[in-house]
Structure 1
Amino acid sequence: MGPRTGSTELLQQLNLKEYEATALAHLLSAGRTTAPDISEATGIPQARVYGVLDSLADYGFIKVIPGRPKQYQPKSPAEILERAKENRRQRYEDYCTEVEDLREAFIEEFGPLYERADEDVTPTAELFHVVDVGTPSETETRQLYRNATDEVFVITNSFAYFDDVEPAVNGALENGVDVSILFLDPRTLPQEKAAVQADVVDRLEAEFPAIDYRFSEERLPWRGTFVDPSMAYDSGKAIFLVEETDVPDHRRQAAITENGSFVAGMLRYFDLIWEYESLEARPSS
């Protein structure tokens, strides 16, 4: 009996083709077996089944046991999921490498055209643009970490979205970028948010000792992330939102700016709070 349709559809969510998903579903239910047996049990043509199994082996989802005939054994479901994530990660890293290899020629070709068109169309740059809070804002935040070359500054209540940006944070640290976080005093937070903050701070202490953080003694008017500010007003980018306690985040938008003067002003504000109105140690309730 062939694999159930639901099993095949579930495996196809790992970006497997129909025959690949069908063969893997059968292996997961039948265990070690041969290509002819898989072909007979699933209806995959014998002319195709070896190529399908070679693909599954390349993905790291099955083992090939030499012999006459060869046998094929599936990895465990947990191993398959981990390998699927690693495959996607590797494809992303390969794509990033390809884009970086393209950078010099791309900038040389299109940079002058863009600058000339921008000069012709508008004499002043847009100060802000906005994105929805949630997945779009988290995507923009991850991009800030990836593009940072020197410093990242964060103002946050509890850093509840840390899981969503952690790989980007870790990448920035590995690239030698300094990360500083200004948390809101947990005594000013609702109990649920204070608990989230405590968990995040514990993780930072245990897993990211290079990150500096302090706790603001007062409520802050905005929260967000900004990178690479310059007192020459010629660099920096930020994403932030002003505090509106009566409006849920899913109904809000975050502002993004690449205006060097504005980002420099954000740094001055951050430094003042950090130096004069914050605590190094976690406040006790």
Structure 2
Amino acid sequence: MDSTELRDALEDAGLSQYQAEAYNTLLTLGAASATELADASTVPTARIYDVLRDLEAKGYIETYEQDSLHARACDPKTVLADLRGRASMLETAADEIEDRWEAPEVDRHMLSIVKRFETVFQRAASLVRDAENEVQLSVTVDQYEELKPALRAALENGAIVKVSLHTDPDEDAPSFEDADFEGVVTEARHRTLPTPFVLLVDRTRTCFSPHAHSLNEYGVLVDDYTLTYVFHWYFQTCLWEVWDSVYSERGDEPPLAYADIRRCVRDVEPLLSADATVRATVDGFDTTTGASVELTGDIVDIHYSGASEANGTPALSQLAGQVCFTLATASGTYSVGGWGAVLEEVEATRITITEVGENESFEA
């Protein structure tokens, strides 16, 4: 390290330009009068006395009288300890910055704003892996490939996994094969528009980040039942309903599982209109007590706001309001609603059609 580099390092360690210059020169001279030090350095003579007093106060030099004011460098132990302490602190700070950049803490607030997509993606992978009931995901093809292990774990947990894959309209359409999805998702659809990254897990967790063409990079992490319901409708109407299915593991015969009562009602409505018997098991909770319930019986009636306009399978727009059905069980009848049920006795988290009346086919 030459004198210039040493002077720059001393300035980085907290010395002023003149202090660093004077100390650097004094190390070379060993001892010198104030005027000799000023002549040998770039420190103005008018400033040299103040500079020497400041260096002495910091423990870098000592001054003494010998016809005039003289100075010499102190034993460097104090200086070395200070410099090495600063170096250690800076190294620790560098490690902390790296740790915080790579794995920032996610607050337990119901809504957190983060700066980097990587934070959103890492959080999403963790949530998907632990999903138990339903995953709704909007991703690029590359992001889907990265999340495959987590999605496979969710499916093995028993979750219904819906994935909306999006590509830009100027891209060549991917050639999707069943092998791309088997054992990973319940159903996949393809959207040919730039789309935000969206994840909803078990009705309470949401991860959101704008699409890649957005000017701003940020993310929203939600841990709230009501806010997640808002994202659910965005997913249903913009990212799912109008786009073509490219894969589905659902068969044509029961048992058929639903996490969404509206999807269930759309399939059951034509069967009830044809006087079929539809037997179902409902998993959910009592809307009054919050206690978990499991009910098995026949769906005997359905209700939704647009029922009078329905002719066959109802459109999603007809199911935007209250949607529920009546389940007749051995212990009585129950009104069953879906996500956000308030008026019904039971909020269903999973509906499984277990049997359709004799000679009736069921098309999912």
Question: TM-score of the superposition, structure 1-length normalised?
Answer: 0.42
Q: Which has the larger radius of gyration?
A: 2
> Which structure carries more relative contact order (alpha carbon 8 Å, separation 6+)?
1
Which structure has the highest helix share of the two? 1
Which structure has the highest strand share of the two? 2
Question: TM-score of the superposition, structure 2-length normalised?
Answer: 0.34
